[in-house]
Amino acid sequence: MSYVAPLKDMLFNIEHLAQIDQVAQMPGFEDAGLVTAQAVLEECAKLNQDVIAPLNWAGDQNPSAFSNGQVKTTPGFKEAFKQYGEGGWQGLQHPTDFGGQGLPKTIGAACGEMLNSANMSFALCPLLTDGAIEALLTAGSDELKSIYLEKLISGEWTGTMNLTEPQAGSDLALVRTRAEPLPDGTFKVFGTKIYITYGEHDMADNIVHLVLARVQGAPEGVKGISLFVVPKFMVNADGSLGARNDVHCVSIEHKMGIKASPTAVLQYGDHGGAIGYLVGEENRGLEYMFIMMNAARYAVGVQGIAIAERAYQKAVQYAKDRVQSRPVDGSMNTSAPIIHHPDVKRMLMTMRATIEGCRALATVAAAAYDAAHHHPDIEVRKQNALFYEFMVPLVKGYSTEMSLEVTSLGVQVHGGMGFIEETGAAQYYRDAKILTIYEGTTAIQANDLVGRKTSRDGGQTAKALAGQVESTENELLSHAHEDAKAVGRRLKAARMAFLDAVHFVAGQAKANPNDVYAGSVPYLMLTGNLMAGWQMGRAMLVALTQSAQASDKAFMDAKVITARFYADHLLSRAPGVRDSIVDGAKCVTELSLEAF
């Protein structure tokens, strides 16, 4: 079954939850209202459904191949990437000054979801390029911007992030790649970087590596790391490509999933030194790299939603086609499609509700990002920045962890056929696993949520968000519709559980850090669940209002049922998770190391 973009749900979120018409009132976004959003999403859907999605299975079966220092991507990828670049999709959210389209993240995130649903391995190349563009826009000199940005934004060149080394994974204080200054202001870079997505490939004329390295004499630890642009090919004064730089791919990894995406080991400086250009100031590299990482973390959360959506569509189609057993209610005398069986419906509804909740959360976070960067009122910008920063670890952590549950359910719906590679269901499960690991594991997102986002301000931001949830909760509880009241009750129970967890985290983080961090991932999952459930509650209120006069009444009615399901089956988990956070630390930490 081929991919069909869920445009109705995306546009519902963009219009009603992200309130795109308010985004369109901000300077620079005047032409980016609902009409534009719909037109862009429809065009994006065509490209992804017709060109990029058909390459997904081929990429898994015939992945990128490495030979003699070069990587050949899956047949069809190069041509599809050219079409992607020529269509202006790489530059969708980037400034018009450098050839981009300057559209809001609210629209760009939906396009990112479609691309990743269509083909996650393919989508990783534009994702990393976006990160490189963001870093150069933020910290690059005018000269670096003029040389690299237009080509990156047009898709003629691609970008990478080079953080990890064999001994330095999550702990970047251990980075050993070194940069030696040259008299002309450039640097020679020496070292090995691993896990470099699209570090070598044949889809673009040049690859612009953004590399963390230490300048000679820099302070130890993370305070001594600088960021460099190291191009695969040097760029001549007239913009044409010159000599090959001293950076070479020595191998690519053999992986569980995302097989078509080449994950390279890059060697810098084996033949005298790779020429690099300092980005911003020395010793501020980690600060700049975090700009890339924050953009990438949000994007990886969207990948979780995207892969879950693809798995859901495949599972629904299979459940409608596969005939097994008579329905338990006796409504049919013969074997029926398995979608008639209550437990299959439960699995499909779990998949659907999870995806819709996470998609709504990501869309609202994108709108907050747009307001944080473009709203004319400084106080509004500040509040939206706080909201977005709080949401990033949730979009990344919760959406990706939930994508594992959803893609696993996708295999389960297929039964034994799901375990057979030829059906394709297993690919989504395998591809999803990396999402909880790269760009910071779930535990790292949880540490961020506990340390920077909750305990640092004594839980004030978290409590303010709970206040917003309570407002929606009260609307639901006072609504005439019984389903709304039921969702309001679940939302209240989840909010109270969350506040208990916030009180524990903020109150104990300094005095008993092991106790708090033992429950950090459950805290992230509880928070993500509540925030997604909040958005489903908001969606339900809209759908109940719209249903009577809606041209698509069936869509609105389904939204109400899905929101009720989310509340009863997913939000209802929150009080139990609260108990594990507040009461369960000792049994995590007390067992002696020798007993393991």
Contact between 199 and 264 under an 8 Å Cβ cutoff? The reply is yes
**Closest of 543, 179, 134 to residue 369, by C-alpha:** 134
Mode of pairing for the β-strands spanning 233-235 and 157-162: unpaired
Torsion of CA 173, 177, 182, 187, to 10 degrees: -90
Cβ count within 10 A of residue 148? 23
Query: C-alpha distances in angstroms, 580 versus 174, 436, 563, 589?
Result: 34, 21, 26, 13
Contact between 294 and 385 under an 8 Å Cβ cutoff? The reply is no
Q: What's the burial of 218, exposed, middle or buried (CB within 10 Å: 0-12/13-18/19+)? A: middle
Percent helix / strand / coil, the chain, rounded to 5? 60, 10, 25
Tokens of 590: 């007390």
Q: What's the burial of 21, exposed, middle or buried (CB within 10 Å: 0-12/13-18/19+)? A: middle
Q: What residues act catalytically?
A: 439
Residue found by looking up tokens 């090919």 in the block: 233
Contact between 224 and 235 under an 8 Å Cβ cutoff? The reply is no
**Closest of 343, 548, 312, 525 to residue 407, by C-alpha:** 312
Distance between CA atoms of residues 461 and 385, nearest Å: 11
Tokens of 359: 């998609």
Distance between CA atoms of residues 88 and 83, nearest Å: 9
- Distant-in-sequence, close-in-space partners of 490: CB < 8 Å, separation ≥ 6: 533, 567, 568, 571, 572
Query: SS3 for 322-374, per residue?
Result: CECCCCCCCCCCCCCEHHHCHHHHHHHHHHHHHHHHHHHHHHHHHHHHHHHHH
